[in-house]
C-alpha cells in the first residue's frame, strides 16, 4: 500500500499529553495514527527572521512529523493575513469582515510554494498526498509545477460558500484553478459541494457531471479532471465513549459536580472565534433566565473558550465583547452563592473535556457557520446512555446534517434558542434516550475511521480521467 503523506498548516502537538484546540488536528491525528506516514506542516512556532530552512523530522511510532517554524513576515502574511483575514471570513459568509490586500495574497502564494519546495525532497513516487484546508489551496499546483504526478487530494474543513460570495475575492478564479490541481476535493456537506459545483458551472467553461447521490461529481475544468465528493468528518466514537466512562469519575469531573451543588449544567466548548456565535449564545442564556426565571440559581452555563488567532484584530474584538457580555449578564443575575456564566479563556485536554461533557445536561453548540463542529459529536459520544444530556445545535453547523435528533436551532433567533434550552432542560428521560440512541447509531457507523477510509479509498482510485 502507498505511503500516506498528510499536509496541513496545523499539526497536532507531538507531545500527546499536550492540549489541542482545533478539530482538524484532533481528527487528523486520530486518522493518521491508524495508517502511519508523514505529517508535514507548520510547527506552531514563529521565529524572528526567515522561516526555517529544512523541516525538523520527529518519529512517533509509525508516524513521522516534518515541521517548519515560520518567520514573522510569512506568518503575518500567510496565516494571520490571507488565510485568516480573507479566506476564513469569506468561507464563513462574513463578507463584511474580509480584508483584501495584494501583499497578503502574494505572501500566501509564496509560503505555499515554499512549503511545497520543502516537502518535495521527502516524497516517493508512489506516495498519496492528502492536503488539508484553506491555508494550503495552492500547495498541490505548486507540487505539480515541480513535476509531481502522485495522487493528490485536498479536504476543505470550512464551509464552501455560494459563488456569489466567492466572487467578492479578487482573482477568485486563480484560487479555484488551484483547487482543480488535485485529483480529489472533499467537503463536509452537500451544501459545501454545491457551492463549489455552482462556481464551476457559473464562473468557468468547465463541466460538472453529478452522480445520482448528490454527494459526488466529476469536474472537468482548467484542463483537469477531478472528483469532488462529500466526506463528513467525525470522531473516534468508541474511544471517546470509553474515555468518558472513565472520566465520569475523575477528580476534575468530581470537582465540577461538587461546585454545582445540585444545579443543572449547560456546556459550550469553542475556540474563541466570531464564527462560533458566542455573543448570541450568551444572550440566549440570558433570555432563558428572563423567560423561564425558575432556572435562576438552578442552572449554570460553563463556556470554555480558549483564545485563538490572537494577532487578528477581529479576534481581539470578540474577546473584549464576550468578557463584557459575561460580566454584564453575571452582574445582572448573580446571587452571592451563584454565578450564572462561568466563562473560561483556557483550553482543556480531551480527557477532562470528556468528563465535563458527561456531567452536562445540555451541550450548547450554536455557531453562525461551521464546517463540521466536532464538539457537537464529542458531546453526544460522551453521554451516559442511561441518562443522556441533550444537544442544542445550530442549523448552520455542518454537523446538523447528520445529527438530526439534536434540538436544531437558528443561532440568530435568541428567543428561539432560549426556548430550545428550556425544552432540553425539561425533556423527559425516554425522549432523551431515544434521541441519544439514534445519534449514537450514526456516530458509531460514521466515525473517524470511516471518514479516513472512505477518503483514502477514493484517492486510491485517482486519476479520474
Ligand atoms: O489552526 P487554528 O488557526 O488554531 O484553528 C483551528 C482549526 O480551526 C478550523 O477547524 C475546522 O476543522 C474542523 C475539523 O474538520 C471542523 O469541525 C470545524 O468546523 C472547522 O472550523 C480550521 O478549519 C482548521 O484548519 C484549524 O486548524
Ligand atoms: O479546550 C479545548 C477546546 C477544544 N478542544 C478540541 O478542539 C476541537 C474543536 O473542533 P471543532 O470542530 O469543534 O471546531 P474548530 O475549533 O476546529 O473550528 C474539538 O476536538 C475539541 O475537543 C480541546 O481539545 N480543548
**Given this model, what pLDDT does residue 30 score?**
76
Residues 433 and 453 in one domain: no
Domain-located, residue 56: yes
Candidate of 133, 157, 234, 277 to mutate for ligand 1, largest count of ligand atoms within 8 Å of Cβ? 157
Domain-located, residue 441: yes
Residues 105 and 125 in one domain: yes
Each residue of 54-66: pLDDT tens digit? Answer: 999 999 889 999 9
**Which cell numbers hold the place of 252?**
476534575
Residues 213 and 313 in one domain: no
Candidate of 353, 399, 447 to mutate for ligand 2, largest count of ligand atoms within 8 Å of Cβ? 353
**Which cell numbers hold the place of 280?**
448570541
Query: What's the CA gap between 23 and 172, in Å, rounded?
Result: 27
Domain-located, residue 55: yes
Beta carbon of 85 within 6 Å of any ligand 1 atom? no
- For 35-39, 146-150, 436-440, which range has the lowest pLDDT when averaged over its residues? 35-39
Domain-located, residue 326: yes
**Given this model, what pLDDT does residue 16 score?**
56
**Which cell numbers hold the place of 230?**
462529500
Mean pLDDT of the chain: 96
Q: Can you tell me which atom of ligand 2 is nearest the CA of 306?
A: 1
Domain-located, residue 130: yes
Give me Rg for the CA atoms of the chain.
Answer: 22
Q: Can you tell me which atom of ligand 2 is nearest the CA of 308?
A: 16
CA distances from 303 to 43, 90, 292 (A): 28, 26, 20
**Given this model, what pLDDT does residue 421 score?**
98
CA of residue 10 to ligand 1 center, whole Å:
9
Residues 306 and 204 in one domain: no
Percent above pLDDT 90 for the chain: 92
Are the C-beta atoms of residues 176 and 150 closer than 8 Å to each other? Answer: no
Mean pLDDT, rounded, for 423-438: 98
Q: Can you tell me which atom of ligand 1 is nearest the CA of 27?
A: 14
Domain-located, residue 122: yes
| Number of domains making up the chain | 2
Domain-located, residue 465: no
Domain-located, residue 77: yes
pLDDT for residue 233 is more than 80: yes
Beta carbon of 23 within 6 Å of any ligand 1 atom? yes
Residues 227 and 113 in one domain: yes
Beta carbon of 37 within 6 Å of any ligand 1 atom? no
Q: Which residues are catalytic?
A: 157, 370
Mean pLDDT, rounded, for 236-265: 97
CA distances from 255 to 155, 259, 289, 343, 370 (A): 40, 6, 25, 17, 32
CA of residue 131 to ligand 2 center, whole Å:
20
Residues 336 and 253 in one domain: yes
DSSP assignment of 239-282 equals HHHHHHHHHTTSHHHHHHHHHHTT-EEEEEE--B-GGG-HHHHH
Residues 315 and 166 in one domain: no
Residues 224 and 250 in one domain: no
Q: Which domain holds residue 370?
A: 237-445
Residues 195 and 305 in one domain: no
Assign residue 160 the CATH number of its domain: 3.40.50.2000
**Which cell numbers hold the place of 336?**
452571592
Residues 170 and 297 in one domain: no
Mean pLDDT, rounded, for 295-299: 98
Residues 6+ apart with CB under 8 A from 303: 267, 268, 269, 270, 278, 281, 282, 326, 341, 342, 343, 344
- For 207-211, 241-245, 264-268, which range has the lowest pLDDT when averaged over its residues? 207-211
Beta carbon of 26 within 6 Å of any ligand 1 atom? no
Buried b (16+ CB within 10 A) or exposed e, 243-275: bbeebbebebbeebbeebeeebbbbbbbbbbbb
Each residue of 354-410: pLDDT tens digit? Answer: 999 999 999 999 999 999 999 999 999 999 999 999 999 999 999 999 999 999 999
Residues 32 and 147 in one domain: yes
Residues 405 and 378 in one domain: yes
Amino acid at each position: 500500500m502507498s505511503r500516506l503523506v498528510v499536509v496541513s498548516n496545523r499539526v497536532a502537538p507531538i507531545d500527546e499529553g499536550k492540549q489541542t484546540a482545533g478539530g482538524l488536528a484532533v481528527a487528523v491525528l486520530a486518522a493518521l495514527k491508524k495508517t502511519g506516514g508523514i505529517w508535514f506542516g507548520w510547527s506552531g512556532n514563529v521565529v524572528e527572521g526567515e522561516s526555517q530552512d529544512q523541516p525538523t523530522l520527529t518519529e512517533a511510532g509509525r508516524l513521522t512529523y516534518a515541521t517548519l517554524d515560520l518567520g514573522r513576515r510569512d506568518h503575518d502574511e500567510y496565516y494571520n493575513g490571507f488565510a485568516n483575514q480573507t479566506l476564513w471570513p469569506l468561507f464563513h459568509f462574513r463578507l463584511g469582515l474580509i480584508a483584501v490586500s495584494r501583499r497578503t495574497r502574494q505572501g500566501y502564494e509564496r509560503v505555499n510554494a515554499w512549503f511545497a519546495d520543502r516537502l518535495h525532497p521527502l516524497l516517493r513516487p508512489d506516495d498519496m498526498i492528502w492536503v488539508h484546508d484553506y491555508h494550503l489551496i495552492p500547495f498541490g499546483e505548486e507540487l505539480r509545477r515541480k513535476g509531481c504526478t502522485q495522487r493528490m487530494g485536498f479536504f476543505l474543513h470550512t464551509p464552501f460558500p455560494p459563488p456569489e460570495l466567492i466572487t467578492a475575492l479578487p482573482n477568485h478564479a486563480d484560487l479555484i484553478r488551484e483547487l482543480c490541481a488535485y485529483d480529489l476535493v472533499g467537503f463536509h456537506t452537500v451544501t459545501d459541494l454545491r457551492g463549489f459545483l455552482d462556481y464551476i458551472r457559473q464562473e468557468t467553461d468547465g463541466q460538472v457531471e453529478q452522480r445520482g447521490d448528490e454527494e459526488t461529481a466529476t469536474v472537468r475544468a482548467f484542463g483537469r479532471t477531478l472528483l469532488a465528493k462529500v466526506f463528513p468528518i467525525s470522531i473516534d466514537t468508541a474511544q471517546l465513549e470509553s474515555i468518558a466512562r472513565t472520566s465520569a469519575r475523575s477528580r476534575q469531573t468530581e470537582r465540577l459536580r461538587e461546585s454545582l451543588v445540585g444545579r443543572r449544567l449547560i456546556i459550550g466548548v469553542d475556540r474563541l472565534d466570531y464564527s462560533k456565535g458566542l455573543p448570541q449564545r450568551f444572550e440566549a442564556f440570558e433570555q432563558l433566565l428572563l423567560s423561564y426565571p425558575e432556572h435562576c440559581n438552578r442552572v449554570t452555563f460553563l463556556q470554555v473558550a480558549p483564545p485563538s488567532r490572537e494577532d487578528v484584530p477581529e479576534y481581539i474584538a470578540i474577546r473584549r465583547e464576550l468578557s463584557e457580555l459575561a460580566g454584564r449578564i453575571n452582574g445582572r443575575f448573580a446571587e452571592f452563592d451563584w454565578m450564572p456564566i462561568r466563562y473560561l479563556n483556557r483550553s482543556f485536554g480531551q480527557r477532562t473535556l470528556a468528563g465535563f461533557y458527561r456531567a452536562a445536561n445540555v451541550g450548547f453548540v450554536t455557531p453562525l457557520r461551521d464546517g463540521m463542529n466536532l464538539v457537537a459529536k464529542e458531546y453526544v459520544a460522551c453521554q451516559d446512555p442511561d441518562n443522556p444530556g441533550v444537544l442544542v445545535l445550530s442549523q448552520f453547523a455542518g454537523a446538523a446534517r447528520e445529527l438530526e435528533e439534536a434540538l436544531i436551532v437558528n443561532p440568530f433567533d435568541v428567543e428561539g434558542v432560549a426556548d430550545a434550552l428550556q425544552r432540553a432542560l425539561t425533556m423527559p428521560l425516554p425522549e432523551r434516550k431515544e434521541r441519544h440512541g439514534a445519534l449514537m447509531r450514526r456516530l458509531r457507523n460514521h466515525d473517524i475511521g470511516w471518514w479516513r477510509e472512505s477518503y483514502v479509498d477514493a484517492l486510491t482510485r485517482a486519476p479520474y480521467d
